């Protein structure tokens, strides 16, 4: 198996999806010949032609509206929104259209063949408009699936599963890891399950839960805590919606403690939803309050990004606090 | 590529503005109100069978609207929207297409469904949101849709269907099918961002889509002169370099002609067309609206004299394809049919409680199943509070 970057794992998944099904179409701003501003679609136009991989005008609501129609027609539509910060003009097409297409028509029509890819998250000195983590907005919308991978292997397998899943899926890609995360990825076609969390490291004292780029943060904090003799169970949620309550509950019933780390602001972030459900599912097993390590309730900063974002030190401190509660 | 591609005007050395008056937009009219075709008019492709089918659809539409407004007033139906005075736009548009063409409606185009043969029972089941509704009783009345008839289910948010139509048509083109998509919307919806997104993308991506604007003068209470200052909607098509035609929307032959040539062009060139049909919303916006608060009886009377159905009837009679006896019999039959269908549909049960969680995803998740189970336990505990479902699962 070759060692490749997360970005190339995405590209490989798209390549396989386009080769596998001739109705697959990839499009978005600068997605065509240029291959996208991050190069995730590099080489696809050359390989599959301009009709199947192309630039769109600068209009996010149009990109997703077009994608909804294309998917409803029966084509496999893979739309790229250049930055998750710019997905909001398409909010109506995602929340009111894609998510409700099947329900409102009684399954006469659906957009199950729609996948929306978008780079999200901080760590690239992107300031408030190139760093956001908007997963919680979409997690509040029945009908959508929301998936976030943590490394190249996960990215390829989850993206292929997202493309072939018969529901509209938003696939947020941790852009800080595009070139920073390198790992072994099979060249062939494979899929990883949606809606399933993964226990990355077993432990007994506390469950650490995150997704995407926050995974390496909590893994690093777990390493620090282990030097203090604290055994952390590290879990990757992988799918934000619908999320794997069972795996998380099982882990928390074992460890008695839960810490959730996310880049997005604290209030009404997805960590809050997890905390509410887990306190209900695991109330009698909890040894300490569920901890949320999150961004502040401010826009994402530029100069003071390090102070703002959840890092391994903040997570480590929260582990100690939880264990000593 | 550069801006030289389209900058084909002369270079000048005095600063002058241009504006919309640079483009004069003609309006196609084939039939006058007395049912006489203009001498040099370019007639659509139509024979007696097609004309009869169109007229039957128009007549049925008029009767349906009358009966359903009456039902709403009697408290039998929660809500309804008529298309009074602009029936020719939806029926004529559908008649200019082929059955494999996708129709995306806004919400005042049930005429297209009627023309395609949507069953009266299906119409009623939707309006009464009962267990027989194809949409499973989830959307307000008039949100029809049918996969079998290639009529996309109506969605309340305005103009969202416009970029979707572009995408749908693009898929039809990619798959090399002899099919186009027609997309209906009003002049008010054309103010939404999705209108501009959809038209520009159709021009750029070269999608075989027919954008059909019903310019009926009003968006609920807002008249079109408070909606935009340009020359209607047609002028925008020119800006996007989309083939554009403005027609008299109350002239069924003009609607049919425009749709026929639009379809032929869209299929041959794989490019979009914009049709702006000038009409008037003679009825209220919906049964929840009262136009007397924002327009005059005189204005309405003027447009009543442009009734598209009467205009077609006059033409049919002149063709010797129709007479008053047939007219009376047809309207009477439709009134009886609709009334009978109302009586049946209003007695059909509401959808089964299990449909609360189906079609959210392809398969309901464990969480959704658990939520439904909780509701069922609750309904069983307080059955008198939930008469639609208590005792029925």
B53 pLDDT higher than 60: yes
Residue B391 placed within a domain: no
Residue-wise pLDDT for B157-207, tens only, equals: 999 999 999 999 999 999 999 999 999 999 999 999 999 999 999 999 999
CB within 8 Å of chain B, chain A residues 9-28? 23, 25
Residue B1 placed within a domain: no
Select from B122, B154, B128 the least CA-distant residue to B350.
B128
Distance from CA of B196 to the nearest CA of A (A): 8
CB within 8 Å of chain A, chain B residues 135-174? 135-136, 138-139, 143, 145-147, 152-153, 155, 157, 160, 162-172, 174
Asked whether residue B228 falls in the same domain as residue B360, the answer is: no
Residue-wise pLDDT for B204-261, tens only, equals: 999 999 999 999 999 999 999 999 999 999 999 999 999 999 999 999 999 999 999 9
pLDDT in tens, chain A (325 residues): 899 999 999 999 999 999 999 999 999 999 999 999 999 999 999 999 999 999 999 999 999 999 999 999 999 999 999 999 999 999 999 999 999 999 999 999 999 999 999 999 999 999 999 999 999 999 999 999 999 999 999 999 999 999 999 999 999 999 999 999 999 999 999 999 999 999 999 999 999 999 999 999 999 999 999 999 999 999 999 999 999 999 999 999 999 999 999 999 999 999 999 999 999 999 999 999 999 999 999 999 999 999 999 999 999 999 999 999 9
Residue B6 placed within a domain: no
Q: Where are the alpha helices (DSSP H) in chain B?
A: 48-73, 87-95, 110-116, 120-127, 161-174, 193-205, 234-239, 252-269, 297-304, 308-318, 324-345, 366-381
Q: Where are the alpha helices (DSSP H) in A21-54?
A: 44-48
Residue B290 placed within a domain: yes
Interchain contact, B359 vs A102, CB within 8 Å = yes
Residue B393 placed within a domain: no
Q: What pLDDT was estimated at residue B5?
A: 59
B20 pLDDT higher than 90: no
Q: What pLDDT was estimated at residue B142?
A: 97
What class does CATH assign to A198-323?
alpha beta
User: Mutate which of A105, A112, A194, A280 to test chain B, going by most B C-beta atoms within 10 A?
Assistant: A105
Strand extents, DSSP E, A97-168: 114-120, 145-147
Q: Where are the alpha helices (DSSP H) in A125-244?
A: 135-139, 152-164, 214-227
Taking residue B306's Cβ as centre, other Cβ atoms within 10 Å add up to 18
Residue B11 placed within a domain: no
Catalytic residue among A130, A173, A219, A312: A130
Confidence of residue B293 (pLDDT cuts 50, 70, 90): very high
Asked whether residue B319 falls in the same domain as residue B255, the answer is: yes
Residue B390 placed within a domain: no
Alpha carbon distances (Å) from B108 to A41, B166, B177: 41, 20, 28
Instruction: Tell me the sheet residues that pair with B214.
Output: B186, B277
Asked whether residue B362 falls in the same domain as residue B269, the answer is: no
Asked whether residue B312 falls in the same domain as residue B374, the answer is: no
Asked whether residue B128 falls in the same domain as residue B161, the answer is: yes
Q: What pLDDT was estimated at residue A190?
A: 98
- ipTM over cut 0.95: yes
Residue-wise pLDDT for B109-163, tens only, equals: 999 999 999 999 999 999 999 999 999 999 999 999 999 999 999 999 999 999 9
Asked whether residue B190 falls in the same domain as residue B263, the answer is: yes
Among A100, A109, A167, the residue with its CB nearest the CB of B362 is: A167
Asked whether residue B359 falls in the same domain as residue B326, the answer is: no
H/E stretch holding B355: none
Whether A90 contacts B193, CB under 8 Å: no
Residue B10 placed within a domain: no
Residues of chain A with CATH 3.40.50.970: 2-185
Alpha carbon distances (Å) from B237 to A55, A182, B23: 22, 49, 12
Q: Chain B contact for A154, CB < 8 A?
A: no
CA–CA distance, A220 with A44 (Å, rounded to integer): 36
What class does CATH assign to A2-185?
alpha beta
B319 pLDDT higher than 90: yes
Taking residue B91's Cβ as centre, other Cβ atoms within 10 Å add up to 33
Mean pLDDT (chain A, rounded): 98
B98 pLDDT higher than 90: yes
Interchain contact, A72 vs B160, CB within 8 Å = no
Residues of chain A with CATH 3.40.50.920: 198-323
Q: Chain A contact for B198, CB < 8 A?
A: yes
Cα–Cα–Cα angle for A205, A239, B135, nearest 5°? 140
Structural domain boundaries enclosing B364: 353-385
Q: What pLDDT was estimated at residue B4?
A: 61
Q: What pLDDT was estimated at residue A64?
A: 98
Q: What pLDDT was estimated at residue B7?
A: 62
Q: What pLDDT was estimated at residue A1?
A: 83
Q: Chain A contact for B180, CB < 8 A?
A: no
Residue-wise pLDDT for B363-386, tens only, equals: 999 999 999 999 999 999 999 999
Asked whether residue B193 falls in the same domain as residue B131, the answer is: yes
How many cross-chain Cβ pairs, A to B, lie less than 8 Å apart?
Answer: 157
Q: What pLDDT was estimated at residue B6?
A: 64
Secondary structure (3-state) at A103: helix
Instruction: Tell me the sheet residues that pair with A145.
Output: A169
Give percent of chain B with pLDDT exceeding 90. Answer: 95
- The DSSP string of A47-69 is HH-TTTEEE--S-HHHHHHHHHH
B2 pLDDT higher than 80: no
Q: What is the CA radius of gyration of chain B?
A: 23
Asked whether residue B233 falls in the same domain as residue B361, the answer is: no
Structurally, how many domains does chain B consist of? 2
CA–CA distance, B276 with B253 (Å, rounded to integer): 15
- The DSSP string of A177-191 is GTTT-EEEE-SS---
Q: What pLDDT was estimated at residue B128?
A: 98
Whether B350 contacts B136, CB under 8 Å: no
Taking residue B144's Cβ as centre, other Cβ atoms within 10 Å add up to 29
Q: Where are the alpha helices (DSSP H) in A165-304?
A: 214-227, 245-255, 270-282
Dihedral, B332, B334, B338, B340 alpha carbons, nearest 10:
60
Asked whether residue B261 falls in the same domain as residue B374, the answer is: no
Interchain contact, A107 vs B358, CB within 8 Å = yes
């Amino acid at each position: 198996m070759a060692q490749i970057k997360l970005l190339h794992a995405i590209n490989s998944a798209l390549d396989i999806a386009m080769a596998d099904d001739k109705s697959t179409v990839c499009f978005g701003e600068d997605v065509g010949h240029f291959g996208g501003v991050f190069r995730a679609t590099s080489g696809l136009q050359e390989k599959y032609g301009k009709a199947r991989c192309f630039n769109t005008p600068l209009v996010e609501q149009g990109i997703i509206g077009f994608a909804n129609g294309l998917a409803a027609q029966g084509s496999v539509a893979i739309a790229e929104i250049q930055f998750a910060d710019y997905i909001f003009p398409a909010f109506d097409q995602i929340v009111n259209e894609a998510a409700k297409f099947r329900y409102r028509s009684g399954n006469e029509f659906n957009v199950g063949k729609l996948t929306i890819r978008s780079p999200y998250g901080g760590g690239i000195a992107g300031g408030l408009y190139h760093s956001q983590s908007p997963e919680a907005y979409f997690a509040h919308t029945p009908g959508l699936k929301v998936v976030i991978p943590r490394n190249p292997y996960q990215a390829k397998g989850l993206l292929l599963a997202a493309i072939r899943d018969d529901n509209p899926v938003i696939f947020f890609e941790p852009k800080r890891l595009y070139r920073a995360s390198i790992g072994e990825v099979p060249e062939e076609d494979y899929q990883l399950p949606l809606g399933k969390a993964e226990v990355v490291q077993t432990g007994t004292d506390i469950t650490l839960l995150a997704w995407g780029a926050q995974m390496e943060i909590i893994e690093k904090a777990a390493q620090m805590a282990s030097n203090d003799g604290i055994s952390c169970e590290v879990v990757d949620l992988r799918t934000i919606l619908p999320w794997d309550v069972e795996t998380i509950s099982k882990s928390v019933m074992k460890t008695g403690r839960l810490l959730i780390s996310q880049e997005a602001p604290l209030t009404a972030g997805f960590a809050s939803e997890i905390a509410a459900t887990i306190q209900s599912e695991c109330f009698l097993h909890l040894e300490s309050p569920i901890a949320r390590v999150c961004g502040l309730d401010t826009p994402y900063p530029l100069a003071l990004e390090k102070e703002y974002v959840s890092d391994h030190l903040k997570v480590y401190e929260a582990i100690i606090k939880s264990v000593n509660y | 590529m550069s801006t030289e591609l389209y900058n084909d005007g002369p270079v000048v050395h005095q600063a002058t503005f241009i504006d919309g008056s640079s483009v004069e937009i003609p309006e196609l009219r084939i039939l006058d109100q007395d049912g006489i075709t203009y001498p040099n008019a370019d007639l659509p492709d139509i024979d007696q069978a097609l004309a009869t089918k169109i007229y039957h659809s128009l007549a049925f539409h008029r009767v349906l609207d009358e009966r359903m407004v009456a039902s709403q007033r009697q408290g039998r139906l929660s809500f309804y929207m008529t298309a009074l005075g602009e029936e020719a736009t939806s029926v004529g548009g559908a008649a200019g297409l082929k059955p494999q063409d996708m129709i995306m409606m806004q919400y005042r185009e049930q005429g297209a469904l009627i023309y395609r043969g949507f069953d009266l029972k299906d119409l009623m089941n939707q309006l009464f949101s009962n267990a027989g509704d194809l949409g499973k009783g989830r959307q307000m009345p008039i949100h029809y849709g049918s996969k079998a008839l290639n009529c996309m289910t109506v969605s309340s948010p305005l103009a969202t269907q416009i970029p979707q139509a572009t995408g749908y048509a693009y898929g039809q083109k990619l798959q090399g099918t002899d099919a186009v998509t027609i997309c209906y919307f009003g002049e008010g919806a054309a103010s939404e961002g999705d209108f501009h997104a959809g038209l520009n993308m159709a021009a750029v991506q070269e999608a075989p889509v027919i954008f059909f604007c019903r310019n009926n003068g009003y968006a609920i209470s807002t008249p079109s002169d408070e909606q935009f200052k340009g020359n209607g909607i047609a002028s925008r098509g020119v800006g996007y370099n989309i083939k554009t035609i403005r027609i008299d929307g109350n002239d069924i032959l003009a609607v049919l002609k425009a749709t026929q040539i639009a379809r032929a062009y869209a299929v041959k060139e794989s490019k979009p067309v914009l049709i702006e049909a000038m009409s008037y919303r003679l009825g209220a916006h919906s049964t929840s609206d009262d136009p007397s608060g924002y327009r005059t009886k005189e204005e309405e009377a003027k447009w009543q004299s442009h009734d598209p159905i009467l205009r077609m009837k006059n033409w049919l009679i002149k063709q010797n394809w129709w007479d008053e006896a047939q007219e009376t019999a047809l309207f009477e039959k439709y009134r009886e049919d609709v009334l009978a269908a109302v009586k049946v549909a209003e007695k059909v049960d509401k959808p089964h409680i299990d449909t609360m969680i189906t079609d959210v995803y392809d398969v309901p998740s464990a969480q959704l199943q658990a939520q439904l189970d909780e509701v069922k336990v609750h309904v069983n505990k307080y059955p008198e509070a939930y008469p639609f479902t208590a005792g029925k699962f």
